[in-house]
Structure 1
Amino acid sequence: MYSYTLNHLVQFSKLNEQMIVLWNKKYKIFNDEKIDKSSLFTQDDLKKLIIVSFLANSNVRYTVEKLCAQSISELSIVTEFELQNFLKKNKIFSPLINLLVCSCFTYDAKSFDSILSICFKQLGIEECCVKIVFPVISQLAILIDTNSVHSAIKSFTKNLIRKQLHFLIKSTPYSVDNNRTWLLFLPENEFHDIELLYAHLLLKLDGEKSIYLGDNQTKESINECLNTINITHVFTYINDDYDKDKMKDYLSTIKKIYPTSTIFVATYNKLKEPITEEIPYINVNNPIMFKEYLDKIIAM
C-alpha cells in the first residue's frame, strides 16, 4: 500500500503543515501521537484529513474536534449530505476538486462516483465538466508529475470520468433535424479520449449531429468515413508532443474531400507553432473556448 508524507498531505489538503500537526496534537486525527516530516501516512489518513477539512469549512456546526472523533465511514455519509448544501451556497469548487482527487489517490470509486454524480445534478453537465472534471484531471497530472506516486491513479481517474461521460452521452437524445454533421476522432496512436467524449456530449446537448469514431484512427479509416458521410465540421484532439507532420496529413485528407469543412484541433495548451500554414483549422485549448465557437456556429 502506498504511503504518504506530511508534504503530500499538505499538497492534497491545501492545509499548512502547522495546522495538520495541530489537529493531530489536539484532536488525534491520526493514530500516531506525534507527527513530523519523517512520518508516513496511509490512504485512510489522507482521506480522513481531506473530509474533515471539507466539512469543517463547509458548515460552522461541524467542529474539527467532533469530526476527528468519527470514523471514515461516518464522515463519508455526512459528506454526501453536505455536498448538496455546499453546491447551493458556493461557487468555489476547489474543496470538491480536493475530495475527488483524494478519492482517486485512495482508489475509492464509490466515493468518486457519488461526489461527481451530485455535482452533475446540481451544477449541470457543462459547468461541472468545465469547473470540476477538467481541473481534477489537470491537478492529478501536476501531482503525478511532481511526486513519486503511481501513474495508475491517472488511468483509474480517467476511466471513472469516462464512465460518467458515457452515461450522460447515452442519456442525451440524438438530433433528428440539423444540417450540420460533426466527425469526432483521435488520430493514430492518440488515446486521450476524455476531451473527445466531452465534445461529443456537448454537441448532443446542443442538438448537433456527430459521428464518434473514437481513438487511434488511421488516415484510411478517416478517409473511408469521409467518402461515406457528408461532414461539415471536424473535432480532434492531440497531445502537445504529437507529430505535427502526421496531423498535417489528416488535415489534408479532410480538406481534400470537404474543402469547406471547419476543423477544430484541441490541445491542452495553445500550440506554439502551427501544424501547417496551408490548411485552415482552429486550435482550441480549453472547453470554454470550444463552447464559445459552438455557440457562434449554432447562431449562424
Structure 2
Amino acid sequence: MSTYSIKDLEQLSGIKAHTLRIWEQRHNLLSPKRTETNIRYYDDDDLKLILNVALLNDNGFKISKIAVMSEAEIRQNVIQLTERSLTHDDQIHALTICMIEMDEERFDKVLSTNIIKIGFEQTMLNIIYPFMSKIGVLWQTGAINPAQEHFISNLIRQKLIVAIDGQIYKSGGKKFLLFLPEAELHEISLLFAAYLIKLRGHKVIYLGQNTPNEDLLTVYRLHQPDYLMTVITTSPSSENIQEYIDLLSERFSQSKILLTGYQVVGQDLKFPKNVKVMNYIRSILEYLAEIEEVKQEK
C-alpha cells in the first residue's frame, strides 16, 4: 500500500492542502495516520476518496453534502456524473479513479462511452493522452505501482488493436513501416500512429516492440516502404541516440524516416535530410494532411 503526504494529495487531486486540512477539521473527511515519528500520512483509500470528492465538488456538490454521503453514495454519484458529463477533465478524472481501483469494467465503460460520443480519434487525443500524462505524474510520486500502470496500458492497447483491425486498406496510399527499436517496449503511441495512418488510406506494415535491426532491414528490403516510423522513449539511451539516428538514415536512405518520443523531441541532436522529428502526436496528423495535399496536387 502506498503512502502520501498532504502535498501529494494536493498534486494528484488539484485541491489545495489548506482546503484539505479545512475539510479534515470541519467535516472529518480524512483521517490521517501517523508514523512512529509522528509524521502525518495518507493511504490509498484516502487518495481514492479525495479524487472522488474533488470530482463531485468541481461539479457543484457542496462539501457539507459530500461529507455525509456513504462511500457507496459517493461512488454512485461519481459514476452518474461521468456518464453524463462531456468535459474532458471529468473523464480523465474518472479514468484515474478506475486505474487506482483497477476497475476494468468501469474503465472500459468510460472509454467506450467517450468513443461513441466523440469518436475514437478524439478520445485518444483529448482524453487518453492527457490521462497518460497524468499517469506519469502519479508514477513519479509513487501513487501508482507497476501493476496498475501495466493494467491500464494493456487495456488501452487492446482498444487500439481493435480500432486498427477495423480499418481496411484501399490501394493508392503510401506504404509505412512502423517499429520500435531493440529493447523499446512503449508501444501505445506507435499503435495510435498505425491507426491514424491506416484510417487515412495508407498501408501499414507493423513490426511492434523490440525489433532487431537485422529483422527491420529484411522487412524493409522486402516491402520498400515510403516511410519508416518509430517512437524512441527509453531505448536507445541518450548516449547512443545520435549514432542510432545516423544508422537509420544511412540504411534506409531511400525512405523518409519519422521519429518521435522522449529521446528525440527537444534534444540537442543532428537530423539527416531524410529524417523528420514529430514533436507531438498531432504533428503526425499534420504530416499526413501534407501527404494528402501532395497526392491531390498530382
TM-score normalised to structure 2 length:
0.84
Q: What SS is found at the alignment partner of 2:228?
A: strand
Q: Is the 8 A contact 1:187 1:215 kept in 2?
A: yes
Q: Is the 8 A contact 2:6 2:42 kept in 1?
A: yes
1:209 CA displacement: 1.6
1:16 CA displacement: 0.6
Q: What SS is found at the alignment partner of 2:12?
A: helix
Written as runs of structure 1 = structure 2, the 5 A alignment for 1:215-234 is 215-234=209-228
Alpha-carbon distance change, 165 to 74 in structure 1, aligned in 2, over 3 angstroms: farther
Written as runs of structure 1 = structure 2, the 5 A alignment for 1:250-261 is 250-255=248-253, 259=254, 261=255
Name which of 127, 142, 151 aligns with 1:132: 127
Written as runs of structure 1 = structure 2, the 5 A alignment for 1:283-298 is 283-298=277-292
Alpha-carbon distance change, 236 to 275 in structure 1, aligned in 2, over 3 angstroms: farther
Q: Distance in 2 between matches of 1:148 and 1:127?
A: 27
* Gapped regions of structure 2 (runs ≥ 5): none
- Pairwise CA RMSD: 2.7
Name which of 140, 143, 158 aligns with 1:145: 140
| 1:155 matches 2:150 | yes
Q: Is the 8 A contact 1:44 1:106 kept in 2?
A: no
Aligned AA for 1:139?
K
1:226 CA displacement: 1.6
Alpha-carbon distance change, 73 to 113 in structure 1, aligned in 2, over 3 angstroms: farther
Alpha-carbon distance change, 77 to 202 in structure 1, aligned in 2, over 3 angstroms: farther
Q: Is the 8 A contact 1:181 1:233 kept in 2?
A: yes
Q: Distance in 2 between matches of 1:94 and 1:192?
A: 25
Aligned AA for 1:43?
D
Residue number in structure 2 paired with 1:248: 246
Aligned AA for 1:165?
L
| 1:98 matches 2:96 | no
Q: Distance in 1 between matches of 2:265 and 2:244?
A: 18
Q: Distance in 2 between matches of 1:40 and 1:297?
A: 54
Alpha-carbon distance change, 2 to 146 in structure 1, aligned in 2, over 3 angstroms: closer
Residue by residue, what CA displacement relative to the aligned partner does 1:77-98 show, whole Å, maximum 9, x if unpaired?
A: 33233224321xx4xx334333
Written as runs of structure 1 = structure 2, the 5 A alignment for 1:1-300 is 1-30=1-30, 32=31, 38-58=39-59, 60=60, 62-87=61-86, 90=87, 93-147=88-142, 150-170=145-165, 172-239=166-233, 241-242=237-238, 243-244=240-241, 245-255=243-253, 259=254, 261-268=255-262, 270-277=265-272, 279-300=273-294
Alpha-carbon distance change, 180 to 126 in structure 1, aligned in 2, over 3 angstroms: same
Q: Distance in 2 between matches of 1:50 and 1:213?
A: 39
Aligned AA for 1:56?
N
TM-score normalised to structure 1 length:
0.83
Q: Distance in 2 between matches of 1:25 and 1:109?
A: 35
Residue by residue, what CA displacement relative to the aligned partner does 1:131-152 show, whole Å, maximum 9, x if unpaired?
A: 2222222222233235576344
Identity of matched residues, %: 25
Alpha-carbon distance change, 108 to 250 in structure 1, aligned in 2, over 3 angstroms: same
1:265 CA displacement: 0.6
Residue by residue, what CA displacement relative to the aligned partner does 1:201-225 show, whole Å, maximum 9, x if unpaired?
A: 1122222221111011112111211
Q: Is the 8 A contact 1:175 1:209 kept in 2?
A: yes
Q: Give the count of matched residue pairs.
A: 287
